[in-house]
Chain A
Amino acid sequence: MKKTLALLLACAVSSACAAFQVSSQGKSVSEIIVPEEPSEELLFAARELQKWIGRISGAEPAVFHAPTKQNNHKIFLGKEFYAPEDDFRFIGESDGWVVRRNGKKLFLSGPKDGGVINAVFLLFDRNTDLIFPRPVMDGEALFTPDPDLTFRETDFRGRPSWNYREFGLVHAHFDPPTSLWARRNYSNSRGMFYHKYHIRSTLDLFFSGVLTYELGRFLPNEKYFAEHPGYYAWQEGKRKKYEHYGPQLCYTDREGREALVREMLAALERDLTPEIRKIHFGFGDTWSLCNCPECRKPIPLADGSQLTPDDDAFRSTQYFLYLNAVVEAMLKKYPHLEAETLGYLYAAVPPRVKPHPKLTVIYCPYPKNDKIPIDGKGNEKWNVRSRDWAKSGARVGIYEYWGDASDFPRPVADAAAENLRIWNKLGIHHFLSTETYPDVRRTPPEQDKLAGAWDVSAMEYWVLSRLMLDSSRNPSELRNEYLKRVYGPAASPMREYYEAIHKAWHADRRISMYNDNAVECAELYIRRPGMEKTLREKLAAAEKLAGRDTVKQLVRNHRERFEFLMRSAARSKPAIFEIPLAADAGKTAMDFDAPVWNSASRIENFKITGTRGKNAAVQTSVFFLHDRRNLYVRFRCAEPDMKHLDLQKAPYPGRLPPGDRVELFLKTADAKTYHHFAGSPSGAKYEAEGYNHRWTVAWDYATRRNKDSWEAVMRIPLDKLGLRITVNNKCRILPVRHRVDGQNAETSSHAGAGPHMPAAFPEMLLKE
């Protein structure tokens, strides 16, 4: 009697009685209730709630379609049981959640059933130490067993910072374990699929369904081109058939648009299922647009002004006018659908017309430096465009690349968090996707970068999952949370390990991008700062301290990947050739004797091309400098027979000099093609884009003749070739010499790489 009274008193004065017990001494004291016709989302929520309560407490609560008469704790899932007006208004159109307790009843609800999935995992997040460290792991999760599992935080609501959150898989588009991990970590969208089975795989049922079409494919050439050439692009005096990488549709031909709408509606009639909520309209990967008179006409704008074809936003505006009409026609028949397109190529420029309100434009701010946010030095362009998109009135989505190059533990979440907040502040919060490596193990280790990424970067993925849900969170606090939950007693050495890499990565001012090479990163951020030994010891200590076998295995996987990276870095001599910065080179570098050339980096020993390393007959030295805007390349060509140079024909203007010459091939990271520069001893110049000699750019070239050599210096305007040193300071560059000696001609180059083979041009780094 006394005891009861004491308990009652304790209840009155503390929050203990607010606790919601789900199991007692390993026996269930709760049940889960779902509606009579639960959606796939609610089914998943119920099964996961049941499963993880069961795993933590040792007793699975049963799931019912109606509450039983038992006097136990009841957890109700879904808006059928609880739909508080105020909370639902707050949540709006998102998959937000509300969790409320009323005595022995606990309600997990949201206007969208996906919100209940979020509520389930938030309930665990706030009341237990349950964590899903990576997609493929023995037992799937880590937690501290608790036979008296009790939820104490049972009164909260929230809405996500981003309505749609997606870990978009790259390299393998279908990987159920990674998608399941993503859903358990609050992602609600699943990217695009390429095989029919994937669509109906059980996982797809609780992700929002997207159907993807390419606009041009709605009007098959076979069906329409002969009779309706006007639907297609007018270029160089004629209409051209549609190609993904070639001519697009005419965006101003009304009849063509109407035909496309008819085909689009027929396709939807055929393909649509109730799960599909969104239609993605893609376009060809090309700038090859229609040049018919109508498509070159200024576009009248709402404010009475005219948008002229030379305006940056002209093509984008034309495209969105076209797409808006297509979307409107779709919504007339299917008002429940949403539409989506990419803000990419010409459509990356915010248009001067408001995109359709049901249209999401997915803007891809890349490539950029992942070490700093978009308002950081060098990334400014992406910030400006973000602002412009926000102002455009479009519903904007963001396509990110954080998961790329995660086979080295790049701490990308710091800049990511800042970017997310910048975008949120601009009013961008509809959709966020990041490229992600699926947790798929491959052998040998050289090919294991996917699971290899999860070996070392699982923490960063987890942190990103939290940031997408709530962009106000602090990445370092999240990292600490992950380390504590996953590694337990081994958290300290793991934290020290990650912090050391974090520090080295940020201390180095080199930019880091989606295409970073993990081995190169290991060299730059671990070996060169002299951290290899210390980090190895940290991981060894962590394995020793780790309690559970699963955790030991996680650390072992990490160690194996670490050793692979160290081994590979030690083996691969830093292949990258560095070109020093001489900020004032512009003043003197065209002068052969200027002292600035003393600081240049140099290449010798040209090899005959196509011979696997046979030395050239005569010596060539090449010197490199840059001043951020220009690349300076100086050739010194030894020549035992200077006189033969005088016998050579003068080159035909605009054509490659047929006799002796020096050449430079150059390909910037994102360019689809490469550029070719050449000059003769007599001073004749040649430039081309690939083999296209009609292409031209202003560049400088000077030569001089010595007793037994001739020299040339080139000034190549990098900015005009599309190289933004602030964005990517790597570039593929190949110097070549062609020498004609009587009947014999010899082409030699750096390392013997062949001309016109851009993949073989050696990568060089323009040093800051």
Chain B
Amino acid sequence: MKKIFFLAFLLPGTLLNAADFNAEVLPAAKYRVVLTAPAPPEWQIRFTDADGNIPLGGILNSRGERYRGTEKNTYVREFYTPHFAKKATLRTKDKVENVRFEAVGDSKYLNLNPEFRLGSDNYSGYARTTQSVIRKGADGNYLEVSDSRYGMTLTDPVPVTPGRTYRVSLRREGPGVPKKNIGVYIRFLDKTGNVLDNQRNYWKQSFTFYSNWKNDFPASKQFTAPPSAAFLECLLLDGKFAAFYLTEEKKRGEAR
């Protein structure tokens, strides 16, 4: 039998025998794709602009092993659409079914997958990890970033607006006093993904969650996006994160 690709959009159960499926999307907005497959598939989401072109940053590649859902044979990845996105196209060579592509509802958290609820084998929002794993904990999943030499996790970039203020906070997993403090380094990126400022004083742009703080200690720190900032990403070091939150500080008079 010839290999057939099953795709759908927003309508679970709809079968389509086309390699690609196009849908209108909003730019710089949170979406997720959900699908099922007998074996971990690889897929691409290709974002095109108003002219039908794919500018830099318009292709999101996913390996199924990194985006398992909580149910058997399901896969899910949350992401932000690029600022130019007009259409999204899902493309895969593997056999997938029940594809759903949907906007993620309102959340007070700007970052993706802040409490690792998408699954203990799901790295949505944390695509760039080295020596870091998401594990099952007593009260949900947590991200463990090894304190080894290269252990670190970079969060996916979150769209920001220059001049606005953002707050970083986290909850630590587990009781007791760990060996090392948790370190979070903040980087603002421009539209093309270049880090703003020269990184010489990277240590000033950071938030430390001290190891002797209680795991539910409400610690946080604010950062204001500089001119020409388009994204914010965070480098997470040395510790177990039960949750990692990024929120926007509302200006006086704005509704919470």
Known: A66-B53, A177-B200, A196-B237. A47 touches B146 (CB 8 A): no
CA distance A398 to B152 in the complex (A): 32
CA distance A203 to B187 in the complex (A): 13
Known: A200-B235, A271-B150. A66 touches B200 (CB 8 A): no
Docked complex: A201-258 residues within 8 A CB-CB of B: 201-203, 211
Contact of A202 among B54, B58, B199, B200 (CB under 8 A): B199
Query: A197: shortest Cβ distance to chain B, in Å?
Result: 6
Tell me if A723 counts as interface (CB < 8 A to partner B). no
Tell me if A68 counts as interface (CB < 8 A to partner B). yes
Residues on A with beta carbons closer than 8 Å to the beta carbon of B238: 196
Tell me the number of A-to-B contacts counted with CB atoms below 8 Å. Answer: 81
Tell me if A149 counts as interface (CB < 8 A to partner B). no
Q: B55 contacts A37, CB within 8 Å?
A: no
Q: B199 contacts A270, CB within 8 Å?
A: no
Segment of B6-14, B113-121, B190-198, B247-255 engaged in the interface with chain A: B190-198
Tell me if A46 counts as interface (CB < 8 A to partner B). yes
Query: B112: shortest Cβ distance to chain A, in Å?
Result: 19
What is B's interface to A at a CB cutoff of 8 Å?
Answer: 44, 46, 51, 53-56, 58-59, 61, 130-131, 146, 148-152, 154, 185, 187, 192-195, 198-200, 202-203, 235, 237-238
Q: A63 contacts B56, CB within 8 Å?
A: yes
Residues on A with beta carbons closer than 8 Å to the beta carbon of B199: 176, 201-203
CA distance A64 to B46 in the complex (A): 12
Contact of B55 among A64, A201, A211 (CB under 8 A): A64
Residues on A with beta carbons closer than 8 Å to the beta carbon of B54: 64-66
A47-B194, A199-B152 given; 13 more Cβ-contact pairs under 8 Å: A36-B61, A64-B56, A65-B56, A66-B53, A66-B54, A175-B200, A196-B150, A196-B238, A200-B235, A202-B187, A202-B194, A203-B199, A273-B130
Residues on A with beta carbons closer than 8 Å to the beta carbon of B203: 197
- Tell me the nearest residue of chain A to B53, going by C-beta: A68
Residues on B with beta carbons closer than 8 Å to the beta carbon of A270: 131, 146, 148-149
CA distance A34 to B193 in the complex (A): 15
Residues on B with beta carbons closer than 8 Å to the beta carbon of A34: 56
Q: A271 contacts B53, CB within 8 Å?
A: no
List 29 interface pairs A-B (beta carbons < 8 Å), by A numbering: A36-B44, A36-B61, A43-B193, A47-B192, A47-B194, A62-B56, A63-B192, A64-B58, A65-B55, A65-B59, A66-B53, A66-B54, A68-B51, A175-B200, A176-B198, A177-B200, A196-B149, A197-B203, A200-B154, A202-B187, A203-B199, A211-B150, A270-B146, A270-B148, A271-B148, A271-B149, A271-B150, A272-B150, A276-B150
- Tell me the nearest residue of chain A to B189, going by C-beta: A202
Query: A42: shortest Cβ distance to chain B, in Å?
Result: 10
CA distance A29 to B44 in the complex (A): 30
Residues on B with beta carbons closer than 8 Å to the beta carbon of A324: none
Query: B166: shortest Cβ distance to chain A, in Å?
Result: 20
CA distance A272 to B151 in the complex (A): 10
Query: B192: shortest Cβ distance to chain A, in Å?
Result: 6
Tell me if A648 counts as interface (CB < 8 A to partner B). no
Tell me if A557 counts as interface (CB < 8 A to partner B). no
- Tell me the nearest residue of chain A to B44, going by C-beta: A36
Q: A273 contacts B193, CB within 8 Å?
A: no
CA distance A153 to B185 in the complex (A): 43
Query: B153: shortest Cβ distance to chain A, in Å?
Result: 9
Query: B211: shortest Cβ distance to chain A, in Å?
Result: 16
Query: A275: shortest Cβ distance to chain B, in Å?
Result: 9
CA distance A422 to B192 in the complex (A): 44
Q: B55 contacts A199, CB within 8 Å?
A: no
Known: A36-B44, A65-B54. A50 touches B146 (CB 8 A): no
CA distance A272 to B150 in the complex (A): 7
CA distance A66 to B59 in the complex (A): 10
Query: B246: shortest Cβ distance to chain A, in Å?
Result: 19
